[in-house]
């Protein structure tokens, strides 16, 4: 959750399921809204049994390691270009010394 709160929503591994509410059973009490984070914690608080988990249609695989995770974050935030050019600049500075 800390990553989502820091704004890295797309750079994180997400659960392969989403919570689905059956409106035929839901009485709109709002109890699930206090717990729903996409983790399934809302299911046991629903006394009407209106919530179930359904598979995501477009589930992304989590990054293999930390380096790939940060690369994905940079890519999604369109910061990969400036990151690479800064790395090249630093390397050239080091080589010239
Ligand atoms: S806890 Fe269940 S009944 Fe209450 S709002 Fe959520 S889904 Fe509807």
97 pLDDT band (50/70/90 cuts)? confident
What is the CB < 6 Å shell around ligand 1? Answer: 21, 26-32, 45-46, 48, 50-51
Place of tokens 């608080």: 45
Put simply, whether the predicted model's pTM sits higher than 0.75 gets the answer no
Tokens of 93: 């500075």
Identify which of 20, 44, 46 to mutate to test ligand 1's pocket (most ligand atoms within 8 A of the CB). Answer: 46
Sequence-separated (6 or more) residues with CB below 8 Å from residue 12: 3, 4, 62
Backbone φ and ψ for 26, nearest 5 degrees, come out as -70, 130
Residue 41 neighbours by CB distance under 10 Å: 13
Distance 94 CA to ligand 1 centre (A): 60
Backbone φ and ψ for 44, nearest 5 degrees, come out as -70, -20
Of the ranges 1-10, 21-30, 35-44, 56-65, the best mean pLDDT one: 21-30
> What pLDDT digit, counting tens, does each position of 39-73 carry?
788 999 999 999 999 888 876 777 889 999 899 88
């Amino acid at each position: 959750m800390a990553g989502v709160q820091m704004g890295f929503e797309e750079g994180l591994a997400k659960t392969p399921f989403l919570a689905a509410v059956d409106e035929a059973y839901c009485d709109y009490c709002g109890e699930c809204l206090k717990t729903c984070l996409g983790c399934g914690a809302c299911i046991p608080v629903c006394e009407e049994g209106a919530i179930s988990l359904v598979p995501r249609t477009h589930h992304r695989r989590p990054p293999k390691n930390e380096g790939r995770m940060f690369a994905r974050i940079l890519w999604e935030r369109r910061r990969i270009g400036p990151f690479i050019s800064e790395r090249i600049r630093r390397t050239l500075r080091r080589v010239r010394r």
